[in-house]
Structure 1
Amino acid sequence: MRRKAEAGRPASDGSPLTAERAIVQAVSKVAQDMFTLPVQTLGITESRRTLADLPEALEPLSLIAIIEGPDEGLGIIALPPETLSVLIEMQTMGSLAKTAPPARKPTRIDASMVVDYLDTVLAMIEETLAETEAVIWAGGFRYASYLDDPRPLGLLLEDVGYRLWQVELGFGPGFERKGKLLWAVPVNGRGHALRRLPGSDAEEGAVMTPADGEAEWHTRLETSVLGASAVIEAVLHRVTLPLSAVMQLRPGMSLPVPTDALENLTLEGVGKRRLSAARLGQHRGMRAVRLSEEENSGMFDLDTSTPKVRRVVPQPFEPGESPFAGKPAAAAPLGPLDRIDSPAYDPEPGAEGLGGFGGFDGGADLGGLGGLDGLGGLGGETGDLGGLGGLGGLGGLDPEGETGGLPPLKIGSSM
């Protein structure tokens, strides 16, 4: 019993565990802790596969769990029908049947029942290999989705090389039930931020120097920043419509898009900030965009030292020929009607001497007021003129003349 207990412990010399030992320990220990299920590893092999060869290693009717790692890297864990039935029986009945049930197509419920087991195994592998280089390709993966058919793998996974681990397992007290587990991840991992230096964890009573604290702070900051999500949108074209047209949009209606929009896409970040130019294409049957290198130069050069002001330079003025050259001058408009000497009251064009009423011929039009220059002889008699007393200077007006024929004066304000 002592030898069996020591078999599951790390090496006493403190040497780091290999990826093979980490996988074996994780698969067995998690099954024992979660389901009280004894699991023995009968064999484990590692190989390299391309994306086209990967589906050939999967058994029919296997549950294919899609796992996602750092920088959106994808991998798979495949559970053949024998292994899947063991995990389902331990959770539903608490014990294993003597024989395996017939193989069937896995369902979403099956995937939800084994997701905790898979995530715990992946987390334990990552923690075990945290101080080794293997954590770069083995760490950071967790369950994302599942497939019941391997054919869509060519569209979901990247076209890169994969590390394929095939583990043969024996289940139960006497290991009478057999099964397999397949784990495939990209060869070139992206989990550089997950690696820890040996002895980086401060033990109780240890003294951390300022340099160690600064290095740890930078590592944590880099991990947090690089792990943050950023949304980038590929904008094909923008259409401006009035609100009345927007309210009438219905499924099936078409919006006008220029023919060159496929070649002039724009990648934008938060707040419609332009990041890069691109063009629309496809990659392995899926829509994709390709960055335009010739238009990206200087795209991210931001100069915030001084605010940029748009300067408008006016066009130089060049005087030309006057449009009124050689044309007769237009006649001046008639004067206003609020002045007695206005030309608008000239009874005959060319009349002169209106300012002092000189030059008028005493005719019938003015009721015998000819020669207004001599009206000063009226003196103080105002009875015949009805309120015109005191108008000295109207000499020449006969006080005994007839005034009944005077037409009514309509410009009394000027008089």
Structure 2
Amino acid sequence: MQTEAETQSALARKLALAQDDSGSKPRSILRALRLGLARVADDTLDLAMSVIGATQMRRTQDELPGTLAEDRLYLVFAAPDDQLGAACVDLSCVSSVIQQQTMGQVLPGVVAERPYTGTDAAMIAPVIEASLSRAQDLAEAPADRACLAGYEFCSRIEDLRSLLLMFEADVYRVFDLTVEIASGTRQGAITLVLPDRPEPEEETADDAALSLGRRLDQAAGVMRADLTAVISRVQLPLAVFAAMKPGDLLPLIGDQLDRTELIAIDGQKLSTCRLGQCRGMRAVRLNERLPEPQVPQTVEAEFTEHQASPAGDKPGPALSDPHVIDHSDIPQVQPGPEPATDRPSPPEPDIEGALAAWSPDQAAAEITELAGLSGSEE
């Protein structure tokens, strides 16, 4: 027969074993979605929404057309890794959320059919987005947390056919949630379609410390940056350029190392710098300011009063525009015979003027001398 101490010891061991079993089992993703939607609706809308039924399925991209229902509000959510997910919300859930936000209560009765609008998407999307974020915090399995991580609302899709064309992943997780609204006043349905992401690999201690961030000096050592430095620009004829071969040298015009241009990958000039070297490697200095050019000091011209011409009121000749050449004023040069030599010809003597000033005897003697006649011949 067991004593009271032995009985309490056996019960304690059973309770401890049950606690160990419950603690070792992670919270499922369906439970995380159930808790996340209920808490978000209560915190943000002051609306009681509880998930009374939840199923999870894995479907390939080809199996999605037979899984999703038509005539729903289709919302698209994007993740940081360019993965796209979707939420399909029926009209009962949409009307309940809008009535709660506009009138403060959910009215009982059947909701009349109507088309969905952009206003519906703007009022429902924050609730779905916050529910996915809250469910990610509540999920415990790494694969479940990766499936719910980082989704943000990006657009609304008009119909189911356009939504199916958007999916690109191979395998999706489909969550069908049956929702009870306002303590049984209405029931609705929400379907979540999320890509089945692979479980993230476990990080080592060094990788975890590295993911927290590097200092600037550490990050600069692992980053790769391709910079194009243009020292000078040379223009060559096409024939010279086509005749060039490996080993030919191009002449650099002027000392342009202090005006080196940094060119981006698209050809746009980013900055002007000085090219040099640091520890045997090419380097540029960006924080250098070139000397500003000296602006010459100009002397102000003195004002000179215009003086009237001494000719009176006669108008002077009109001044022509110095930038316009009047070809009519240029004298026309008549072509003449080319001179035999480049030396200018001597001026002709004025014989008639000299004869008029001399006496008859002086004129006769001068004529005789010029003709080369002697006295007897005279």
Relative contact order (alpha carbons < 8 A, sep ≥ 6): 1 or 2 greater? 2
TM-score in terms of structure 1 length: 0.45
Q: Is the helix fraction higher in 1 or 2?
A: 2
TM-score in terms of structure 2 length: 0.49
